[in-house]
Amino acid sequence: METSILSLLIFLPLLGVVGMFIAYTLKQDDIIFKYIALLATSVQLLLTVWLYFNFDPSVALSSNISINPVKFSVQVPWIESFNIQYFVGIDGLSAPLVFLTSLLMFICILASWNISKHVFAYFALFLLLDTGMMGVFLSLDFFLFYIFWEVMLLPMYFLIGIWGGPERKYAAIKFFLYTLFGSVFLLLGMISLYYYSGIESFNLIALISAAPSISGELWGFQVKYLIWIALFIGFAIKVPIFPFHTWLPLAHVEAPTSISVILAGVLLKMGTYGLLRISYPLLPGEVVAFAYTLAILGVINIIWGATNAIAQKDLKKMVAYSSISHMGYVLLGMAAVASTSAAGSQAGMNGAVMQMFNHGVITAMLFLLVGMLYDRAHHRWIVFPEDYEKPELAGKLGFGGVSNKMPIYSGFVMVAFFAGLGLPGLSGFISEAFCFIGRFSIFKFLTVLGTLGILLNAVYFLRAYQRIFWGEEGASTQGLSEISIREIVILSPLLLLVVALGVYPAPLIDIIQPAVQGIIDTVQSAL
Amino acid sequence: MIYLDNILSLYYFQSEILLCLGVLLLLIVSVYKNPSIKSFYIILSTLVLSLLSTLYLIFDQASLSTGYKFLFLESIVIDPYSNFFKVIFLLSVLMVVLLTYNNKEVKREDWSEYYCLILISTLGMFLMSSSLNLLMIYLAIEMVSIPSYMLAGFNHNDKASNEASMKYVLYGSFASGLMLFGMSWIYGQAGSIYLDDIGVYMMNSTQFEFTSLISFILLFVGFGYKISSAPFHYWVPDVYEGSPTPITAFFAVAPKVAGFALLIRFLYTAMAQLNFSTYSIEAIYVDWNLILAVLSAVTMTIGNILAIRQSNVKRVLAYSSISHVGFIMMGFAVVSFTAVTHMLFYIVMYCFMTLGAFAILILFTDKYSFSSVSDWNGIGFIHPIICSLMVLNLLALAGLPPSSGFVAKFYIFATIIQSKTYYWLAVVAILNTVIALYYYFNIARAMFLESPSERTPEKVDYITATVIAITSIQGILFYVYWSDLYNLIQGLF
């Protein structure tokens, strides 16, 4: 079990696809595909729960010493002539994200139960996406990492393109081109690391000790610096960091609910995960040199995302922009790694990883809630836009008084919104506070500027809540019905996590702390 | 090294002789009544026999142990390199022949003529991959080109097909004229037509760099036209569009690969000095790697940018083949055995994925008479499995995982970066990858994202389905495991 569990996590969804294909050739009913997908993801979820209880966070993969076999890790040669390995492993950095992925996958399969268009294709692509995401978080060989990274693009393209909203074709190709543009730079950086490091290996653990010794110049720049830039472009587009963010609002808004959840909940984390897993330990000198820029970009993300969110009339677009803003906190925490105070860098980095997890949960909840409202009202305007198809409605509130019609739903939304704006007692607060504390130890002015974001977050979340749930009942509010048991089941685990981690975040910190400490030690060796 | 006289050479020339016999038989059969099915079986058996005999020569212990064989007074060499290419030619021609079986674009009564031309062309490609002197090279190229001119115009009553043929002839004859002129320059300088002697001359005559450069450029006109590198690519889109689709598939793969086989051999024998004991390159002459690196960047960019605006799928694939030539030529920027290995690896993958895409295009063109991209709208939900395979082929062409095309592209990038020079070429190439994705996925978008138009589903015959399966499945196969193929190619020299 110990050696096969990670491979099982990665390839179980693929097995599900094979099962679905067999069912497809046997001309089975549509419902069978849903059950197979549900089975695959629920087994995956159970496996991650087992993993959680057997996980030993004290073993950090990122520390300088460890090429020693770590619990659960598997290392077998794949392409010997090029020294490519099938190398998977898990540490405190990837564990929360693996758990997040399997939880969100399970929830999203349930949330897309009503899909009736091309059911087989939908669930098959969804499981393929699952394989890609798990692979990214678990691989410790750069080549393997890259392959899983790219594998996700194709299912995502079709999932947005076939099941999305009115602008879906444009959104799908824009997403595809943007992310491909990033990943080709990643590819260049990867191959350069392979040859310049001198060990001709993609092994990320071995590269930790080999990569910092890269020397050489190209076009008047240090090669190391260029590799950092190439990797950064690749990861920044995924995060997305301003100014590479323009694919995000479109893709999130056009995607069907479950896909938005996965996009915001998991895919965005891959960018920051890649930075922490690859750029940070491998190129510590450049990280330190780049920390200030990263901090500025983080602040821009926070303010830009929040101010854009304020301007949105579409609820889903507002949530999408809030994602950009929230990912800014992650960058902010990550920039604190260069802090000379030990407590500061620890708080910042822990906060960043926690924020990755917490934002995954919160934003998943937000998108699910928006989806539920859209399913009922068939629109999600906070305020109808000027060019709305019914001119008599233009400029009027989209909803109003929803809390009378859907009290339970409003409760969920309230918790999600408050978690999003960082109310103490909910999980978002803890991680945001950690990010600020960490960052304050090094970039004081930027941190103060960044705290503006909290205020701006409160503006759009509270205003949206007020306009939709309070006041007089609008025209669209009339036909709304309370959410069903299935929907409550979908939302409850997320709600539980938000509240539990807000009150008692220690379990999460205990897992993250040793791994993050390893990264901090590696980076600070270059200070 | 073994030098064989004319009589002894014949034994090692058996696969070519089999092809000649096939041509003769086809000519005889064509005067009979109803020659179509007979000629199909003749070409099928000729190709299979020739394949078997090539494989026999490869695995024959006696020929292996004695290394290279120089036949017909050193005009032709039989070595692992040429054998490797012969297998590729035979396999791709076999696929094309199988694809014609149920295709209505090439009329059945013309089959004997059609197959005859294809076989002659195949024989020419065999010689291209194994020629060792300039005269043989010229003859081999013409032997591929002249049947190709006729094949391009094979739809006698179709204006586009006639135009294609005419353009092909004009470009082809001009290019081969210039190439012949270049050959005369080289002969004038080196006093020999043998590639080895030319290499020796080049080594000793560094003071005549300029004349060598001119003769190289003139020669490259011929080669460049054959592999359709820019700026000799103008014939490609029109010829590809006008020719019957199976013939387009043939053009896109076999002669191009033969051109590369010849070009690589020419550059590494006559224009560079190799050291086989240490597997290194001692020197190269006239800096052809820089010239070809620039041409590579130009070729792939032109191919990709012009492909964006195309609405006809055949033209899209034509431009895509030009851009792929650019990618393969990236390997020329670096002069090393590794670079050649990676180029050959790319060439194999290119053959498969192009044939895969064309097989599906041929099927749809035949069943639904598709021409523009918008004809593909919604076809994905009528033929889900075939269209999924098409997506796989498109991914491979775009060079994305999960597909073999990614592995090929990865190796080509690795070549450039390993050399730690020509980084700009790598950057141009990655930007091209992004552009390429757009027009390849235009087809995928039409297949799956657009709403379907009304059409009655047609049944897919087994032969075409098999070809599609074979050529497409490798896309995933070589993605999951390619080590053995790589080692095989590495062992060729």
Nearest-by-CA chain B residue for A143: B410
**pLDDT tens, position by position, A387-431:** 777 777 777 777 877 888 888 888 888 888 888 888 888 888 888
Which of B411, B427, B434 would best serve as a mutation to test chain A binding (most A beta carbons within 10 A)? B434
CA dist B416 and B426 (Å) reads 7
Residue B69 has pLDDT above 60, yes or no: yes
pLDDT at B346 (0 to 100): 92
**pLDDT tens, position by position, B276-310:** 666 777 777 777 888 889 999 999 999 899 888 88
CA dist A162 and A169 (Å) reads 8
Cβ contact A279:A232 at 8 Å? yes
pLDDT at B61 (0 to 100): 56
Residue B244 has pLDDT above 70, yes or no: yes
**pLDDT tens, position by position, B135-179:** 889 999 999 999 999 888 888 888 888 888 898 899 889 998 999
pLDDT at A63 (0 to 100): 47
Provide the shortest C-alpha distance from residue A163 to chain B (in Å).
9
Say how many C-beta atoms besides its own lie within 10 A of residue B330's C-beta.
Answer: 28
CA dist A312 and A464 (Å) reads 10
Q: The domain containing residue B463 runs over which residues?
A: 287-493
Residue B120 has pLDDT above 90, yes or no: yes
Nearest-by-CA chain B residue for A189: B417
Q: What's the pTM value of the predicted model, to 2 decimals?
A: 0.89
In chain B, positions 387-426, which contact chain A (CB-CB < 8 Å)? 391, 395, 400-402, 406, 410, 413-414, 417-418, 420, 423, 426
The helix-helix angle for A153-163 and A168-196 (nearest 10°) equals 170
CA dist A116 and A308 (Å) reads 34
Provide the shortest C-alpha distance from residue B323 to chain A (in Å).
17
pLDDT at B257 (0 to 100): 92
pLDDT at A69 (0 to 100): 45
pLDDT band for position B123 (cuts 50, 70, 90) = very high
Report, as ranges of residue numbers, the positions in chain A whose pLDDT lies below 70: 1, 57-71
Residue B492 has pLDDT above 90, yes or no: no
Cis preceding-peptide flag for B402 (omega within 30 of 0): yes
pLDDT at B24 (0 to 100): 92
CA dist B324 and B343 (Å) reads 11
Does residue B478 belong to any structural domain of this protein?
Answer: yes
Which chain A residues are within 8 Å of B483, Cβ to Cβ?
Answer: 78-81
**pLDDT tens, position by position, B185-198:** 888 888 888 888 88
CA dist A246 and A116 (Å) reads 31
pLDDT at B63 (0 to 100): 55
Residue B67 has pLDDT above 70, yes or no: no
Does residue B427 belong to any structural domain of this protein?
Answer: yes
pLDDT at A68 (0 to 100): 43
Strands A221-222 and B2-3: what pairing?
unpaired
Query: Would you call B439 helix, strand, or coil by DSSP?
Result: helix
Does residue B228 belong to any structural domain of this protein?
Answer: no
Residue A223: which of B172, B437, B374, B423 has the closest Cα?
A: B423
The helix-helix angle for B313-329 and B404-419 (nearest 10°) equals 30
pLDDT at B369 (0 to 100): 80
pLDDT band for position B122 (cuts 50, 70, 90) = very high
* Residue with more model confidence, B19 or B66: B19
For chain B, what is the mean pLDDT?
Answer: 86
List residues of chain A with CB under 8 Å from any CB of chain B: 78-82, 118, 121, 146-147, 150-151, 153-154, 157-158, 161-162, 168-169, 172-173, 176-177, 180-181, 184-185, 187-188, 191-192, 194-196, 216, 218-219
Contacts 24+ apart (CB under 8 A), A27-30: A30/A116, A30/A119, A30/A120
Indicate the helix (H) or strand (E) that contains B274: strand B272-275
Query: Dihedral of the CA atoms B209, B210, B213, B215 (nearest 10)?
Result: -110
Say how many C-beta atoms besides its own lie within 10 A of residue A128's C-beta.
Answer: 22
Does residue B76 belong to any structural domain of this protein?
Answer: no
Query: Dihedral of the CA atoms B177, B183, B185, B191 (nearest 10)?
Result: -150
Nearest to A185 among B395, B418, B430 (CB): B430
Helix and strand numbers (H, E) in chain B are 20, 5
Does residue B300 belong to any structural domain of this protein?
Answer: yes
CA dist B110 and B121 (Å) reads 17
CA dist A509 and A433 (Å) reads 14
Does residue B233 belong to any structural domain of this protein?
Answer: no
**pLDDT tens, position by position, B459-468:** 888 888 888 8
Does residue B124 belong to any structural domain of this protein?
Answer: no
Which chain B residues are within 8 Å of A153, Cβ to Cβ?
Answer: 400
CA dist A254 and B75 (Å) reads 64
* Domain count of the fold of chain B: 1
Does residue B298 belong to any structural domain of this protein?
Answer: yes
